[in-house]
Amino acid sequence: MKMTQWLCRAAVVYWLAIPTSAPLVTASQGSPAGAILEIHGPAYLRVSEEGPAIRLEPRRDVMRRLYLGQGLRVGAGGRLKVALETGIREIGTPDSWFVLQPSVALTAEQSRVAEALREYGRLGGSRGGAVDFLIAPANGSVIRLGRSIVRWRSASMNGSVAFRLEAGTGRVLWRVDGIDARLEALDSKTFQMALLDWNESGESGTLILTVTGSDGSTGEAAFSLLSREDEKHFESDLSGWERVGDKKLAAIGRAYECRRRGLRGEEIEELETALALAPESEELLSLLSEAHRRYGDSARASALKKKGAALVR
Amino acid sequence: MRRRPSPLRSLAFSVFVAALLIAAKGIVETREFGRQLELLTYNLLQMRLVRPPAARDLPVVVVDITSLLPTIVESPLRRELVTPREALVAIVKAIANGRPRAIGIDIDFSPSNSGFATPRDAEALQAFLSIRKQGIPVYVGVFESVVLPPAEWLGRPEFEDLAAYITIPRADEAAPSSRMIEWVRSAGVSRSCPSLASALSQVQLRPMPGMLNWALRRVSLKTTDAFAASEFLVNFGALDQLVAGRVMGSNEKDIEKQIQRIDGKIVLVGRATPGEGSDQFNVTGREMPVPGVYLHASATYTLLEAPLFRLTHAGRIVGDAFAAGLVFGPVFLTGLYFQRKGRVGGIPHSLHAILTVTVIVLVASIGHLLVLQVRLLWTDYLMVVGALLLHGPIVRPTEHVLDRFIRPFRSNKKRINTGRARARKKA
Q: How far is B69 from chain A (nearest CA, A)?
A: 7
- Residues A88 and A166 both lie in one domain: no
pLDDT along chain B (427 residues), means of 10: 59 74 74 71 67 78 86 52 86 95 93 73 92 95 91 90 92 69 93 95 70 74 92 87 90 90 94 76 76 94 84 80 73 76 66 76 77 70 67 63 61 65 72
- Omega of the bond prior to B59 within 30 degrees of 0, cis? no
Contact A296 B80 (CB under 8 A): no
Return residues 151-180 of A near B (CB < 8 Å).
153, 155-158, 168-171
Q: Helix %, strand %, coil % for chain B, to 5?
A: 50, 20, 30
pLDDT at residue B75 in the model: 46
Does residue A51 sit at the B interface (CB-CB below 8 Å)? no
Does residue A127 sit at the B interface (CB-CB below 8 Å)? yes
Mark which of A172, A200, A225 sits at the end of a domain. A225
- Over 50: is that where the pLDDT of A14 sits? no
Q: How far is A301 from chain B (nearest CA, A)?
A: 11
pLDDT at residue B128 in the model: 96
Using a CB-CB cut-off of 8 Å, the residues of chain B touching A115 are 226
The answer to whether residue A66 is domain-embedded is: yes
**Check: complex ipTM more than 0.85:** no
- Residue A129 belongs to a domain with what CATH number? 2.60.40
Report the run of H or E that residue A219 belongs to, with start and end. strand A218-225
Quote the number of domains for chain A.
3
What gap in Å lies between CA A130 and CA A115, rounded to an integer?
A: 21
Mean pLDDT of A97-104: 71
Helix axes B313-340, B349-369, angle to 10 degrees: 150
The answer to whether residue A58 is domain-embedded is: yes
Does residue A109 sit at the B interface (CB-CB below 8 Å)? yes
Secondary structure of residue A245 in the 3-state scheme: coil
- For residue B355, which of B332, B380, B388, B330 has the smallest C-alpha distance? B330
Using a CB-CB cut-off of 8 Å, the residues of chain A touching B79 are 153, 155-156
Higher per-residue confidence, A141 vs B52: A141
- Residues A33 and A84 both lie in one domain: yes
The answer to whether residue A115 is domain-embedded is: no
Contact B226 A130 (CB under 8 A): no
The answer to whether residue A107 is domain-embedded is: no
Beta strands in B132-238 (DSSP E): 138-142, 163-165, 167-169, 179-186, 193-194, 216-217, 219-223, 227-233
Strand bridging mode B102-108 / B266-270: parallel
Contact A110 B188 (CB under 8 A): yes
Q: State the DSSP string of B353-400.
A: HHHHHHHHHHHHHHHHHIIIII-EE-TTHHHHHHHHHHHHHHHHHHHH
Mark which of A225, A254, A273 sits at the end of a domain. A225
Using a CB-CB cut-off of 8 Å, the residues of chain B touching A31 are none
- Residue A293 belongs to a domain with what CATH number? 1.25.40.10
The answer to whether residue A127 is domain-embedded is: yes
Contact B170 A120 (CB under 8 A): yes
Does residue A99 sit at the B interface (CB-CB below 8 Å)? yes
Instruction: Tell me B202's DSSP state.
Output: T
- For residue B66, which of B91, B94, B100, B97 has the smallest C-alpha distance? B91
What are the C-alpha distances in Å from B193 to residues A304, B183, B227? 45, 6, 11
CB B363 within 8 A of CB B327: no
Domain that holds residue A27: 3-99
Contact B282 A169 (CB under 8 A): yes
For A124, which of B80, B222, B295 is closest by C-beta distance?
Answer: B295
pLDDT at residue B69 in the model: 72
Q: Which long-range contacts (CB under 8 A, 24 or more apart) does B350-356 make?
A: B352/B392, B353/B392, B355/B327, B355/B330, B355/B331, B356/B327, B356/B388, B356/B389, B356/B391, B356/B392
pLDDT at residue A1 in the model: 45
Higher per-residue confidence, B160 vs A242: B160
- Residues A42 and A74 both lie in one domain: yes
Beta strands in A21-143 (DSSP E): 32-40, 43-46, 54-55, 65-67, 71-74, 79-84, 87-91, 98-99, 121-123, 126-127, 134-136, 142-143
For B76, which of A91, A102, A168 is closest by C-beta distance?
Answer: A91
- Among A27-41, A70-84, A287-301, B271-285, the range scoring the smallest mean pLDDT is A27-41
For B148, which of A110, A158, A222 is closest by C-beta distance?
Answer: A110
- Residues A236 and A171 both lie in one domain: no
Non-local (6+) Cβ contacts of A114 within 8 A are: A106, B144, B147
Amino acid identity for residue B51 in this structure = R
Q: Work out the widest C-alpha separation in chain B, in whole angstroms.
A: 116
Contact B114 A130 (CB under 8 A): no
Instruction: Tell me B127's DSSP state.
Output: H
The answer to whether residue A111 is domain-embedded is: no
Does residue A50 sit at the B interface (CB-CB below 8 Å)? no
The answer to whether residue A108 is domain-embedded is: no
- Over 70: is that where the pLDDT of A62 sits? yes
- Over 80: is that where the pLDDT of A218 sits? no
The answer to whether residue A112 is domain-embedded is: no
Mean pLDDT of A160-171: 81
* pLDDT, chain A, mean: 76
What gap in Å lies between CA B137 and CA B156, rounded to an integer?
A: 18
- Residues A232 and A208 both lie in one domain: no
Higher per-residue confidence, B183 vs A90: B183
Report the run of H or E that residue A310 belongs to, with start and end. helix A298-312
- Residues A181 and A89 both lie in one domain: no
- Among A172-176, A240-244, B392-396, the range scoring the smallest mean pLDDT is B392-396
- Over 50: is that where the pLDDT of A131 sits? no
What gap in Å lies between CA B204 and CA B141, rounded to an integer?
A: 19
Higher per-residue confidence, B247 vs A220: B247
Q: How far is A244 from chain B (nearest CA, A)?
A: 33
- For residue A148, which of A219, A225, A205, A208 has the smallest C-alpha distance? A225
Using a CB-CB cut-off of 8 Å, the residues of chain B touching A119 are 170
- Residues A145 and A238 both lie in one domain: no
Mean pLDDT of A152-177: 77
Query: Could you tell me the residue ranges of all domains in chain B?
Result: 7-44+311-415, 51-305
